[in-house]
Amino acid sequence: MNRAEIRDFLEEKAAQYNHPRFLDGDPLQIPHLFTKKEDIEISAFLTATIAWGNRKSIINNASKLMTLLDSAPHDFIMNHTKADLDTLSPFVHRTFNGTDLSYFVASLQNLYTHHGGLEVVFTNNQEKESMQPAISKFKTLFFGLPHQSRTTKHISDPGKGSAAKRLNMFLRWMVRDNSSGVDFGLWTDISPSQLSCPLDVHSGRVARKLKLLKRKQNDATALMELDKSLRRLDPVDPVKYDFALFGLGVFEKF
């Protein structure tokens, strides 16, 4: 396929998979449980944090996490007590455990109390061409409180070579418009044109098959290459093609 044919193909597939009917099997269903802005973005951030492995397990554990936060994540984070933190200790999703979760709660409280919250932190650190430097700066700020070294692995850093799949997915959820009923469009001071595709084994495989990506590793360098390819197809909203690449990979085994 030439570039025009690839674009038409991906446009069709993006429209097919950017639809609420796919939320039943997607972790994005968790923030859709909420209506308050802060609840949506906090639940989305925490869900994205544990979004690796089996999707059914991710959804189940994200649901358990919300229950532990009294189904009111912003209120819990802002008003929790030491005893409340103790109730989080049994939580585990793969290598993310109660110790990690307690730190995330404390750090989020710090962000909302002293730094304006998640939206302000990412918005203030954005760069015109990319959100990857903002992700690196976010990680530095997020781990500004005393913490165990083990917890830092749960936030990726593009500056150290990571494709930061989960945080790029979180940013897609927050920034892209909600006209389809899938993403939220809550953060209006960041442009979809700055976003990067959440690069994983599925989207990477499809991108390579379509010759949008040559690099074999799914790392920060590969993400930059994929960014360039997708922005040539649509410079305004390149990350809509995440729906196509992921859908083709997961549902159609393309």
> Over 90: is that where the pLDDT of 205 sits?
yes
Whole-number Å distance between alpha carbons of 11 and 158: 28
Q: Which stretch of DSSP H or E encloses residue 97?
A: strand 96-97
**Position 171 pLDDT exceeds 90:** yes
Structure tokens at 126: 């954005």
pLDDT confidence of 174, banded at 50, 70, 90? very high
In degrees rounded to 5, what are phi and psi of residue 93? Answer: -135, 105
Is the pLDDT at 61 greater than 90? The verdict is yes
| pLDDT over 90, % of the chain | 98
Unique residue bearing structure tokens 């005393």: 146
Report residue 83 as tokens: 């005893």
Question: Is 227 in contact with 172 (CB distance < 8 Å)?
Answer: no
Nearest Cα to 223, choosing from 244, 240, 239?
Answer: 239
Write out pLDDT tens, residues 14-34.
999 999 999 999 999 999 999
Task: Work out the average pLDDT over 144-172.
Answer: 97
pLDDT at residue number 220: 98
**Buried-state track 2-39, b at ≥16 Cβ within 10 A, e below 16:** eeeebbeebeebbebbbeeebeeebbbbbbbebeeebb
Instruction: Give strand pairing partners of 162.
Output: 219
11: pLDDT strictly greater than 90:
yes
d(CA 177, CA 172): 9
pLDDT at 213: 98
Average pLDDT of span 219-223: 98
Cα separation, 19 vs 70, whole angstroms:
29
Output the six-digit token pair for 70: 């009294």
How much is the average pLDDT of 112-127?
98
pLDDT of residue 236: 97
Region 115-133: mean pLDDT is 97
Residue 113, pLDDT > 90, answer yes
Give the pLDDT confidence score for residue 245 in this predicted structure.
98
pTM of the predicted protein model: 0.97
Q: What's the CA gap between 156 and 164, in Å, rounded?
A: 5
Instruction: Considering only CA atoms, give the Rg of the chain.
Output: 18
User: Residue 72: its pLDDT value, please?
Assistant: 98
Q: How confident is the model at residue 1 (pLDDT cuts 50, 70, 90)?
A: confident
Taking residues 38-63, what's their average pLDDT? 97
What b/e string do you get for 116-137 counting C-beta neighbours within 10 Å, with b at 16 or more?
Answer: ebbbebbbebbeeebbbebbbb
User: E strand or H helix at 82, and its extent?
Assistant: helix 82-86
Q: How far apart are the C-alpha atoms of 163 and 161, rounded to whole Å? A: 7
- Say yes or no to pLDDT of 204 above 90: yes
Q: What is the pLDDT of residues 150-160, one digit of tens each?
A: 999 999 999 99
Would you state the pLDDT for residue 45?
Answer: 98
For tokens 């409280």, name the residue. Answer: 109
The 3 state secondary structure assigned to 200-237 is CHHHHHHHHHCCCCCCCCCEHHHHHHHHHHHHHHCCCC
